[in-house]
A and B are shown apart, each in its own frame.
Chain A
Amino acid sequence: MNAPPTDTQSSHLDLDDLIAAANGQPIGDAAGEHLTGCEHCRLEASRWNLVADGVRSLAAATPEAAPPEAVPPEAAPPEAVPPEAVPPEAVPAAYPSHPGQLRRTGRRALARHRRRAVLVAGSAAAALVLLAGVGVGVGTWTGLVQVDLGGGASAEPVLTAVSGCPALESASGTLERMNGSSLVIKTPSGRPVTVTTTASTTASETGASAALLADITDGASVTVSGPSSDGTIAAFSVIIANPAQQHPQPPPGMVVVKGTVADASTAGFTVVTADGTRVPVTTSGDTNVSVLNASLGQFPVGVSILALGSAGPDGSLAAVGVVAIMAPPPASLPPSLPGARQIHVQTHAQGRQVYVKNCSPAAVDEALAAGG
C-alpha cells in the first residue's frame, strides 16, 4: 500500500494490489481490510476488474486456431524458418529435415496436436462439474478452481483462481430472479448479469445450513470427511451424490469415508461403505453440506451464485456450472483443512478425472486442455 498521503490520514492501495485483486490473486490482510473499508479503493478495484473482465472475455472468445491445412503454405515467408536453424538430429519424423518441407510438415504436426487438444478440451468442458464443499488435503485433493468464500470482513464469495483462464469466464452475485432456464444475478458492482443454462449445465448447492442437512436422506450417495472418535465421524463436510469422486489420504486427524446413507436423522446418519461397513456420522449446524446435481429451481432468490462458463457477445454467461452458496462455511472449520473456504471445480473427461496439483489459472487451463 502507498504511504499515507500528506493531506489525509488514509492510505490507498497501490497499483500492485489493485492488479492482484483484479487477477484474483491474494493481497495482504492489511490491504484486504483497507479495501473493505475504503470506498475510493473499492471503486478503483471495480474499474480495474471491469478492464480485466473485458480483456479476459476477449481472450475467452478467441476460438481455437484453424487447422493448419487451411493455411496456404505459401502464406508463410520462407525466410521465417531458416533451414540451417534446425538441427537435423533434433527433427523427428514428422518434421523432416528437408528444408522445403519443414515448415509445412511442422504445421501439419502442430495441427494434429491442436485437433487432439480441441477434442479433448471439448469433452472436458462439456463434462465440467462443480464440486462445492470442503476440500480435504489440498495437496492431494486437487481442486482446479478455487473460490474464496470470504470470511473476516467480507462475506462475498469471490472467485480467486479462475481469473486469467481464457477457457472459462465467471460471474458471481446474488440471485435476483429466474427467467426460464436463465438466472439473472446482480454482481457486487450492481450490474445485472444473465446466466444462461442448458440441460448439460451442472448445478450444485453448498453451505452449512439446515436446509442442506435435510437433503441427507437414506439411500443418498455421500462422501463424508471429518475427525473420527471411537469409530464415529463428526462431519465437517458431507458431499451428496458424488460416487465417482476419488479420495486421497486425508490430513492428520481426519478421515474420509464414502458410501450410502442409512438411518438418517437430525443428529446424523450412518454411512454404509461398499464393503458393508457401517460408519456412524454426526452432523451439526457447522457441517458443510454440498449437493451436486441440484435443481436450479431450488435456488432461492437472494442466494449467492457463482457461475462458470463462456461469455456471450451480449455480456451474458453461458454456464457450464452454477453453484449456490446457501450459507458460508463456518469459520470454525479447522485450518488443517486447506479447502475449508474454497469451492473446487473439477473436470471429468471420458469418465476419468483430471487432476492438477494447484489451483492456478494455468492449471485450470491445462486441465481443460489436457483432459484426456
Chain B
Amino acid sequence: MNDPNGNVGAAIFAASRDPASRDGWLLGRIGQGDEDAMAAFYRAHGRVVLAQVLLVTGERALAEEIVQDTMLAVWRRAGDFRGDSSARSWVIAIARRQTRDRLRGRRLRVVDDAFLADRPGSGPGPEVTALDRAELAEVRVAIRDLGPAHREVLGLVFGSGLSLPEVAGVLEIPVGTVKSRLSAARAALSRILNEKGQIQ
C-alpha cells in the first residue's frame, strides 16, 4: 500500500486490502459499532445492492427502502458474518430476503415466477438472431420487461459480479439451476426483442 501522505482515513485503509479481507475487517468493525466502517461498507456495496434490487423491483423508492433495510440489517447482524461467502454475496442475500418479503407483501407470485424462470428455453432457434442484431439500448429496454426471476439472475451474474456458485448461494438453488435460469433468461430476452418487433 502506497500512502505517501500517511494521512488517509479508514476508507482508504480498507481499500488497501483485498476485497475479502477488507470486507471481513469492515464487518468486524461494524460489529463493534464502528460507524466509519459502516460507511466504508456502504460505499463498497451500497450502489451494487441498489442496482440489483432496482433491477428486480423496478421501483426506485421501493428499492431505496430495501437497501436501507438491508444496511440496517448489516449494522445489526455484522457479527453473524462468518466469512463462508463473500461479503457482497452475503449482503445481496440479505437484500434479496428483504426484497422477497416486500414483494410477498404485495402478493406477487414469486414462486410461480421462479418456477417459470427455470423452465428450459427453447434452445437455439430463430429468436437468437434477435440478439445478434440487437442494439444495446434495445436490450436495456427488453431486460426491464423480463420477469423478476430472470432480471434477478442476470443482475446477480452480470451486475453484481458474483460467481455462479455465489449466485447459487444467494438464490439458494443449485449451480446447475442458475445456469438453466440464465439460459432461460436469455431466451426470454430474445423473445421479447422479437415480439417487440424492434429487430427486423
Q: Per-residue CB proximity of A303-344 to B under 8 Å, as 1/0?
A: 000000001011100000000000000000000000000000
From B132, B144, B183, name the one whose CB has the most chain A CB atoms within 10 angstroms.
B132
For residue B71, give the distance in angstroms from its CB to the closest CB of chain A. 6
The answer on a CB contact under 8 Å between B186 and A51 is: yes
Which bracket fits the contact residues of A?
35 or more
Binding-face segment, A87-95, A200-208, A268-276: A87-95
- A54 and B143 contacting across the interface, CB-CB below 8 Å: yes
Q: Does B114 contact A (CB under 8 A)?
A: no
**Cβ of B134 < 8 Å from any Cβ of A?**
yes
CB A71 to nearest CB in B, in angstroms, measures 7
Q: Name the residue on A nearest B19 (C-beta).
A: A362
Report B162 CB to chain A, min CB distance, Å.
Answer: 9
A370 touches B76 (CB 8 A): no
Q: Are B139 and A54 in contact (CB under 8 A)?
A: yes
Q: Are A55 and B72 in contact (CB under 8 A)?
A: no
CA distance in complex: A58, B88 (Å): 19
Binary per-residue interface labels of chain B (122-148) against chain A in the complex, 1 for a CB within 8 Å, 0 otherwise: 000000100110111101101110000
Is A50 at the interface (CB under 8 A from chain B)?
Answer: yes
CB of B171 within 8 Å of the partner chain: no
Instruction: Report the minimum CB–CB distance from A60 to chain B (whole Å).
Output: 8
Q: Are A366 and B64 CB-contacts (below 8 A) given A55-B55, A92-B33, A352-B5?
A: no
How many angstroms between the C-alpha atoms of A369 and B161 in the bound complex? Answer: 16
> Chain A contacts of B154 at CB under 8 A?
51, 55
Q: Would B155 and A59 count as touching, CB distance under 8 A? A: yes
A107: chain B residues within 8 A (beta carbon) = 68
Determine whether the beta carbon of A59 is less than 8 Å from that of B136: no
A47–B50 CA distance with the chains assembled, in angstroms: 26
Q: In the complex, what's the smallest C-beta–C-beta distance from A39 to chain B, in angstroms?
A: 12
B128 CB contacts on chain A under 8 angstroms: 47
A214 interfacial contact with B, CB 8 Å: no
Docked complex: A51-66 residues within 8 A CB-CB of B: 51-59, 62, 64-66
Contact A15 B46 (CB under 8 A): no
Instruction: Check A80 for interface membership: any CB of B closer than 8 A.
Output: yes
Given A51-B186, A71-B65, A366-B19, the answer on whether A16 and B164 have CB atoms closer than 8 Å is yes
CA–CA, A365 and B40, complex, Å? 12
A interface list, Cβ under 8 A from B? 15-16, 19, 22-23, 43, 46-48, 50-59, 62, 64-66, 68, 71, 75-76, 80-81, 85-86, 90-92, 94-95, 103, 106-107, 109-110, 112-114, 116-117, 120-121, 140, 142, 163-167, 191, 246, 248, 311, 313-315, 352-358, 360-363, 365-367, 369-370, 372
**A80-B69, A363-B15 known, 12 other contacts, Cβ within 8 Å:** A50-B131, A54-B140, A58-B51, A68-B68, A90-B33, A95-B75, A103-B72, A166-B47, A191-B136, A358-B19, A369-B44, A370-B44
